Amino acid sequence: MDIRLRYRSDIVASPIELPSSKSIANRALVINALSEHPAEIGGMSVCDDTQAIVGALEQVSEHSATIVDIGAAGTAMRFLTAYFAALEGVTVTLTGSQRMCHRPIALLVDALRQSGADIAYLGEEGFPPLRIEGKRLRGGEIAIRGDISSQYISALMMVGATFSEGLCIRLLGDTLSRPYIEMTAEMMRQWGIDVRTSADRIEILSHGYRSPASYTVEADWSAASYIYEMVALAELQNVVVRGLVAPERSLQGDSELVDLYRHFGVTTQFCDGCAVISCSPSESDEVLSLDLKATPDLVPAMVVTACLKGRRFTFEGVGNLRIKECDRIAVLTTEMRKLGYLLTFDDESVSWDGSRCEAECNPLIMTYKDHRIAMAFAPAVTQHQGLAIEDAMVVNKSFPQYWEQMRLMGIIAEKI
R_g of the chain, CA atoms, integer Å: 21
CB proximity list for 121: less than 8 A, separation 6 or greater: 109, 127, 129, 130, 131
Alpha helices, DSSP H, located in 218-343:
221-234, 257-260, 299-308, 328-338
CA distance 47 to 27: 14
Q: Where are the beta strands (DSSP E) in 308-380?
A: 313-316, 344-345, 349-352, 364-365
Calculate the alpha carbon distances from 261 to 7, 230, 255, 266 in Å. Answer: 22, 11, 11, 5
With contact defined as beta carbons under 8 Å apart, do 209 and 34 qualify? yes
Which residues fall within 8 angstroms of residue 116, CB to CB, at 6 or more apart? Answer: 135, 137, 138
The size of the chain, in residues, is: 416
Bridge partner residues of 4 (DSSP): 388, 414
SS3 content of the chain, % helix, strand, coil (to 5): 35, 20, 40
Residues identified as active-site: 297
Phi/psi of residue 338, nearest 5 degrees? -65, -25
Phi-psi bin for 354: left (phi > 0), alpha (psi -120 to 50), beta?
Answer: left
CB atoms within 10 A of CB 208: 12
The conformation of residue 298, written as its DSSP 8-state character, comes to: G
Q: Which amino acid is at 56?
A: A
